[in-house]
Amino acid sequence: MSSRIFLKLLAVFVLVIAAAVVTVDFSVRSAWEKSLRQEIERNLTQKTALFAHRVDTDRSHSLTEIAAQEALAAGARATIIDPTGKVLADSEAYPSSMENHARRKEFAAALQGNVGSDERRSRTLGVPFLYVAAPVSGGAVRFAYPLSDVEAATKRAPHTLLIASAMAFVLALLIAATAAQYIARRLRRIVEFADKVAAGDLTARISEPSRDEIGQVAAALDKTARQLEENFAALQTSQRQLETLLNSMQDAVIAVASDGRVQWANRSMDRLLPQRTRLNAPVVETVRDPDFLRAVRSATEDRKVISARAASILPGRSFDVTAAPMPGGSAVAVLRDLTETERIEKTRRDFIANVSHELRTPLTSIQGYAETLLDNGCEKNHLPEFLEIIRKNAARMSLLTEDLLTLARVESGEQRFDSQPVAPAELLHDALESFRELARAQGVELTTGDSTAPMVNADREAIHQVLSNLIDNALKYGAKGGRVVVGARSSGNAVEFYVQDFGPGIPSEHLPRLFERFYRVDKARSRESGGTGLGLAIAKHIVMAHGGSIWAQSELNHGSTFSFTLPVATPVVN
């Protein structure tokens, strides 16, 4: 690239120099020859005037002597002519042998009182002469100067000028080569700089100290590169902000090109389909749901915003899909997971139905017995029984309301827990002491298992409520006259509390739902025992608020074990 620039510049310089040399050679030679002839003519004119003056004033010499002397002094042939053109005297020939000069241009001009001149080649000698004639009284005088020396000098001039021109050409060529190399080097730097910018290196810079046209071009390109770098940096910042915004979204976002290939996907999309989300892969390989694909196709082809519901992207999960067109024929699709929303909505409906059902039974009972009492048809011996039934149902409603309020406070985070380091043995002891008499009355042996675990961070009252619920359930649903074991043991960075009974056990299909609101394995038996169906749900949320987990294990005819964990207390360093 640089050699081509150099050769082109050098060729231009060579052509310019050659044209200049030829022009100068022709002009100098012509001007020199013209100047030489003008100088000879001027000198000869002056000498002719002196020659004429002597002829008019010198009476001591003959015309022949005067002609001879003037010719010798002037270095030219001298001739004296009368008004008729007849030669009176000549420095080189006899007048009688010479022809009449009446038709000569210079003589005709002299007869008119002017100095005349003419240049012509001698017929006898074949040499060019310059003739200058001046008027005198009784005719004219004339000098004839041979131009053979001038002609010889003119013939020698091209050779001399050629040598000088060749030397000048070589010198100019060296200067031109240096200048071409300098310009080519500067242009090469600009080209290399432009190539770097074109390749994406916007940090490249070029500095030209000269303020000529090349320097101005370099400065303009450098300014352009700086502006491109600033604009690109701003674009990258905007792109990073947009990516951060999209990646922070809980909804999955995927961009699809006009040819149906994945252009971009946010992190939620990667987490949703980690094995299938690949850039430049066909979208049909990423999301295999016909409703989703139909929405994306409508956005890319019909340029419309389409909403759809996709239920086959992942098993057991449903998504709300919104696809919108983007410039260039591409489209973007947003997938919002409706699974949790639908689960919450179903839970809400179930909750309302369960609360309504739980309240309807005692309310109906209270209403029925109250109406019986109001009818005055009740015998006095049944009055205490009816009032006791009304009291029990009212107490059941009060307990249900209290549990609902407790569950609402725990779920919403409204209830604050005062967690402090406490020994698991103390928590177990407090809970067991609350049920000693009840266990003894039911003939159940209430024993303590492991209790040497490290201290935990816990709210004593809240954990007492959890343990009380689990022990109460074990006494209610365990084997009559059996045994209940309560203990705590280390489990990594946590302590595992457990309550084990040896009753009939719980069928495995019920275990995943035990901690749901109002879920009962045996509904009739649960209501008879006075349960609200919210105890385990409250226990779950209390444990989760402490940073632990809760679960149940059971084997039919061998009993059940309810366990939960609490984090080990961090020791305080003084």
Structure letter (DSSP) for residue 321: E
**pLDDT value at residue 574:** 44
What is the rounded CA–CA span in Å between residue 403 and residue 358? 12
What is the rounded CA–CA span in Å between residue 553 and residue 561? 5
Mean of pLDDT values over 76-80: 90
**pLDDT value at residue 374:** 63
| Same domain for 435 and 381 | no
What is the rounded CA–CA span in Å between residue 510 and residue 555? 12
The residue among 74 and 572 whose pLDDT is bigger is: 74
pLDDT band at 425 (very low <50, low <70, confident <90, very high): very high
| Same domain for 22 and 130 | yes
Mean of pLDDT values over 207-220: 74
Work out the angle at residue 303's Cα, subtended by the Cα atoms of residues 298 and 309, and round it to the nearest 5 degrees. 40
Q: Facing residues of 271 across strands?
A: none
**pLDDT value at residue 7:** 67
**pLDDT value at residue 183:** 76
pLDDT in tens, 139-163: 999 998 888 777 676 666 666 666 7
Mean of pLDDT values over 200-222: 75
pLDDT at 538 over 80: yes
- Show the domain range for 277: 249-337
| Same domain for 333 and 347 | no
Answer whether 95's CB lies under 8 Å from 88's CB. yes
**pLDDT value at residue 366:** 67
Please say which residue of 394, 411, 428 terminates a domain. 411
What is the rounded CA–CA span in Å between residue 141 and residue 146? 17
Q: Facing residues of 485 across strands?
A: 447, 500
> Number of folded domains in the chain?
4
What is the rounded CA–CA span in Å between residue 351 and residue 565? 27
Mean of pLDDT values over 92-121: 87
| Same domain for 288 and 313 | yes
Please say which residue of 285, 313, 337 terminates a domain. 337
Answer whether 364's CB lies under 8 Å from 372's CB. no
Considering the chain, what is the average pLDDT of its residues? 80
Structure letter (DSSP) for residue 573: P
Tell me the CATH number at 318. 3.30.450.20
Please say which residue of 95, 119, 152 terminates a domain. 152
| Same domain for 262 and 125 | no
Mean of pLDDT values over 166-179: 74
Instruction: Please name which of 571, 566, 562 lies closest in space to residue 426, comparing C-alpha atoms.
Output: 566
What is the rounded CA–CA span in Å between residue 456 and residue 114? 141
pTM for the whole structure: 0.43
**pLDDT value at residue 482:** 87
User: Is residue 169 domain-resident?
Assistant: no
Tell me the CATH number at 482. 3.30.565.10
| Same domain for 470 and 389 | no
Strand order across the 331-337 sheet: 262-265, 252-256, 331-337, 319-325, 306-310
**Owner of token pair 């249900």:** 400
pLDDT band at 36 (very low <50, low <70, confident <90, very high): confident
User: Is residue 176 domain-resident?
Assistant: no
Task: Provide the percentage of residues in the chain whose pLDDT is more than 70.
Answer: 78
pLDDT in tens, 284-340: 877 888 888 888 888 888 888 988 888 777 787 888 889 899 888 888 888 888 777
| Rounded alpha-carbon distances, angstroms, from residue 340 to 154, 260, 346, 347 | 112, 30, 10, 10
pLDDT at 573 over 50: no
